[in-house]
């Protein structure tokens, strides 16, 4: 859903296109009404706003600190998916989001088992669209505050995340900021890690490499032997005097 309140809260943050800072692109994907917009807004503004228009695909942006580095974050709030016949709605938008993103957040609602069942298909679409890309994924089960309406157990979420090989968070966009923050933060931290560059050899390593024995030339060996012989002959001569 598109944010229709407190737009100024998000607009306070500069759009990162103009800056040279590193940009992290996160796509939020899941069933319709699972709370994707609520989660994105919660993460970016710390606030829960319960009143949204239906999302047609909104891109949010702001800058955050990740491990001491200033990073520009873009979050694509992808339109909610639902089953249409044998396939899913919004395929094009979902594929576009997946191809654009550095990381993906898959969301279902604990109050909606159909949204949970969609996750496997969305994950397949992710793997098909980005084969071998190793795109980091987090699985979020939202609306954990609505215990009386729960249809999906935490164990089911944990099991699914284990099969997909991704971290799992059960969260409530309406009641708990820190869990929502932790899930997004994990992805940001993973993506903001600098690419490891091989460290230059230390002086100890350089000395060590000098100690590696070189193949000996037969002429040198011969010269050394003759030099030793000459020396011992001189010593013998000197001692006999
Ligand atoms: N109780 C509760 N309600 C929530 C939570 N998160 C979202 N909601 C409500 O669920 C409804 C849908 O939330 P949205 O954020 O618009 O969901 P969406 O996934 O973006 O929906 P689409 O745009 O249709 O895809 C709204 O009425 C929210 O207020 C939550 O954690 N707890």
pLDDT tens per residue across span 173-206: 999 999 999 999 888 888 876 555 555 656 655 5
Q: Beta strand 103-109 with 137-142: parallel, antiparallel or unpaired?
A: parallel
Mutate to test the pocket of ligand 1, among 35, 36, 45, 60 (most ligand atoms within 8 A of CB): 35
> Which residues line ligand 1 at a C-beta cut-off of 6 Å?
1, 32-38, 50, 52, 54-55, 79-80, 142-143, 145-146, 172-174
Ligand 1 atom nearest 38 alpha carbon: 15
Contacts of 91 (CB under 8 A, 6+ apart): 125
What is the complex's ipTM, to 2 decimals? 0.99
- Model's pTM, two decimal places? 0.76
Q: Identify whether the C-beta of residue 167 lies closer than 8 Å to the C-beta of residue 161.
A: yes
- HSE at residue 87, side-chain half, CA atoms within 13 A, is 6
Q: Which residue has the higher pLDDT, 62 or 2?
A: 62
Asked whether residue 209 carries a pLDDT value surpassing 60, the answer given is no
Res. 134 pLDDT band, cuts 50 70 90: confident
Q: Beta strand 83-84 with 69-77: parallel, antiparallel or unpaired?
A: unpaired
End-to-end CA distance of the chain: 107
Cα–Cα distance measured from residue 52 to residue 62, given in angstroms and rounded to the nearest whole number: 20
């Amino acid at each position: 859903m598109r944010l229709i309140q407190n737009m100024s809260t998000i607009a306070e943050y500069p759009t990162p296109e103009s800056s040279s800072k590193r940009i992290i692109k996160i796509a939020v994907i899941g069933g319709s009404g699972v709370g994707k917009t609520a989660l994105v807004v919660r993460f970016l503004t710390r606030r829960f706003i319960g009143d949204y228009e239906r999302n047609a695909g909104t891109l949010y942006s702001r800058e955050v600190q990740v491990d001491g580095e200033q990073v520009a974050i873009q979050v694509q709030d992808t339109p909610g998916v639902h089953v249409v016949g044998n396939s899913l709605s919004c395929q094009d938008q979902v594929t576009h989001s997946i191809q654009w993103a550095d990381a993906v957040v898959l969301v279902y609602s604990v109050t909606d088992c159909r949204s949970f069942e969609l996750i496997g298909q969305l994950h397949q679409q992710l793997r098909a669209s980005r084969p071998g890309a190793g795109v980091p994924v987090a699985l979020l089960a939202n609306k954990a505050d609505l215990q009386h309406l729960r249809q999906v157990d935490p164990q089911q979420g944990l099991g699914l995340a284990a099969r997909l090989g991704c971290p799992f968070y059960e969260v409530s966009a309406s009641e708990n900021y820190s869990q929502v923050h932790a899930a997004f933060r994990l992805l940001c931290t993973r993506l903001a890690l600098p690419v490891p560059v091989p460290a230059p050899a230390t002086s100890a390593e350089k000395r060590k490499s000098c100690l590696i024995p070189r193949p000996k030339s037969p002429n040198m060996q011969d010269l050394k032997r003759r030099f030793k012989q000459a020396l011992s002959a001189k010593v013998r001569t000197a001692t006999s005097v």
